[in-house]
Amino acid sequence: MIKTLNINIWEREFSLSVEYDCYKDESITAGQILALKKFAAHNDWIANSKSYVEEFCRNQVMEDAQNEKKDNVFSYVKPECIFVKHENDNPRVALMCKYRYDVEHGLAVVFSADGTINVGPQDIIM
């Protein structure tokens, strides 16, 4: 089981904890471990996700007169952990982030096995 992942996210190095979606009586599945390994092997997915995040956040960032670093994604998004969903065939993996403009729900960048990337409140993966 992988507990921490050293990963480059948008040209910055992070050491993030890995959280697995499991009930108390469940074990981490082989599919979850495989999904995490595939995610870690696809640096291009992670790099490409930056444009999805910027697009999702664009309106709030542009309306924030106090954010003087609008072109720096890290001025409004901070990666916190990796979340691996408990799903049967191809578990999704999410980069869970703090989000300056929605402190309560945060932000999830969700990666599917086919390379699809979705961005939204953390509720989209929970």
Mean pLDDT, the chain, rounded, equals: 93
pLDDT of the residue at 2:
87
Considering only residues 61 and 53, tell me which one the structure prediction assigns the higher pLDDT: 53
The answer to whether the beta carbons of residues 28 and 91 sit under 8 Å apart is: no
What are the CA-CA distances from residue 23 to residues 26, 59, 64, 87, 123 (Å)?
Answer: 5, 37, 39, 12, 17
The pair of three-digit structure tokens given for residue 62, joined into one six-digit string: 């542009």
- 7: part of which helix (H) or strand (E)? strand 4-9
pLDDT reading at 12 higher than 90: yes
CB 118 within 8 A of CB 72: no
DSSP 89: S
